Chains A and B, each alone.
Chain A
Amino acid sequence: MVNKKRILVVCGTAIATSTVVAKKVEELLSKRGIAVETRQCKAAEIRSNLNGVDLIVATTPIPKDINVPSVRGLAFLTGVGEDDAVKEILQKLGMEQ
């Protein structure tokens, strides 16, 4: 087993929407047999939480100068386009199936 990929889930509070998105991402990826580690933070705290992070999934705007790949997490809240969002996550993690 390779190292688990680390995903930082970002929203405005680090509580409300990011909890939903983090659980959803874990669930959808584990269905595809991929275990990931998620961590949640607020948009304002991104910079101090980037250590070891492979990907950011954000439900809220994030600063433009962050150099970790990021995916918009809105689909996991609306339920529209979840599959595409999962594909984008896999692609940006370099784990295309």
Chain B
Amino acid sequence: MRFDRRLSTVATVLLALALTLPGCGPAERPAAETRPSAPEGASLTEAQLAVIDRAELVLTKKCMARHGHPYWVAPSMRADELRAPGYVLDDVGWARRHGYGGRIQQKALATKRHDRNIAYRAGLSEAEARAYVRALSGGPGTPLLTMPLPGGGKVRASNGGCEAEARKRLYGDPSVWFRTDKIATNLTPLYVPRLLGDERFTKAQRLWATCMRRAGHSYTDPTSIRSALPRLTQGLDAGRAHTIEVRLAVAEATCARSTGFAETARRLEREHSAPVRARYARDIATRDRLQRAALTRAERLLGA
């Protein structure tokens, strides 16, 4: 390969770090059990976000029924399965149960293979499929929502059909929700580079790496482990592969705790993201308010 491995590694590490701060991008949120409602200012847990997702599917199903199409609501994952490992694991218990989540992903893919919506759609004629898609997302000619991102680039989203109707019932004005959510979840490019030069981070990571080496695992950073996993488990049966995954994940989490690396990473991310979040505070607050309102509506709808 001709690319600069060092640059790639460092940038990947620090972008992935963004996973540790709740409410700031695609965050790793505590997989706490669903609370009845989210307090003001608190980020929603993965479980709470899953409640909103489920309500969106239920609303979509009701809408599709009005259009004469069946629609199946996918089974929910357990709260414990909704977590992503984040940049560095520090929950030893979760690591012991799930490793890096490899089995969870396999379970999701297995569920997808039996997705009745996919099977139903596959059995439709071309004309029927067009009608199905039109009911689901609006069909050709439906304007898309577009939004420039704070760090550059532009994203789009479908804004028609039953899916859009469901989102509107949960979040209100689609354009406001889309705009503020895209801002709130795309801020990492604006502050992550500042972490690149922060010696407190690199020092903490070196301590973690030393701890890992003493535990028999020579990796300079957590991403090196995730990156090596496919190779380490290639050709092994599922049980043996899981054992290796768990062993590394437990070591990573144990060292992250004992050296304080995870806590340092979280603290530094809060510090570096604060000015950026302050700049977009109004949009973030709007997005959080809409999301909390959506959770309340979702809980009411689902009778949670």
A binds B: no
Chain A residues in contact with chain B, CB under 8 A?
A: none
